[in-house]
Structure 1
């Protein structure tokens, strides 16, 4: 009789634990809202950069580029994703992109250009304009910039 009672208590305890997990699991996940860069495939082109935390000169240069090219960035459907020491509050840093620099990632998720030098920023729009899908976009839509 005691054996059945212990099994019943374990079953009730397991059921209670499962119920509590279902209730509190979403609350635990609330702080974990990061996505993978691959979630943007076929939706956005990506300009991803990773800088060192103390590299304010580079960060200011990137901000300046973004502000000067807002129209071109929007027109080319670019998501600009900054990482500082491989950290970003919204996205996980792609493991295969371990160094600092700038990456241009196409709709297909493939790296189209990379440079440790942030000079690449000045070439981004021209590089995108050479891509086959962008050529079609340019034929279909007149530039607003």
Structure 2
């Protein structure tokens, strides 16, 4: 079990490192039709909401993988102007506040919140979507 969690953590770290240099818009476009995405934004990495949201998701690696979920963390202090403008426009968000969004495989925004979201809320929303229902019926195995 610990080796699975370590593998998922290292895979996520590698993906985050790969994505670090790519503009946010391109990251999201590259994941369209392949993955669902949870975008977490915080103006300050030490914010209580940001830390809480990260903990909620880190506790559910298997469930994230089953739903083809990728988590993208955006910290205002480290974002360039292009990414800040994209976030503000695309998600209609005030960048002085915490935000979290669920982006579907089709690239559409499925959930917008300004407080941390429970894993159960994400999973129940995703599991109610027609594309996910079809995936569950097919029983598509995840590597």
TM-score by length of 2: 0.66
Structure 1 position 96 matched with structure 2 position 90: yes
Deviation at residue 71 of structure 1 after TM alignment: 0.5
Structure 1 position 130 matched with structure 2 position 128: yes
**Residue 117 of structure 2 aligns with which residue?**
119
Deviation at residue 55 of structure 1 after TM alignment: 4.0
**Residue 33 of structure 1 aligns with which residue?**
21
Superposition map of 1:44-123 within 5 A: 44-53=35-44, 55-85=46-76, 87=78, 92=83, 93-94=86-87, 95-97=89-91, 98-99=93-94, 100-119=98-117, 121-123=119-121
What residue ranges of structure 2 are gaps of 5+ in the alignment? Answer: 1-19
The 3-state SS of whatever aligns with 1:108 is coil
Q: Taking structure 1 as reference, are residues 54 and 64 closer, same or farther at Cα in structure 2, changes over 3 Å only?
A: closer
Root-mean-square deviation over aligned CA pairs: 2.7
Larger Rg: 1
Deviation at residue 121 of structure 1 after TM alignment: 4.5
8 Å Cα contact 2:50/2:116 also seen in 1:
no
Hey, what's the Cα distance between the residues in 2 that align with 1:124 and 1:64? Answer: 14
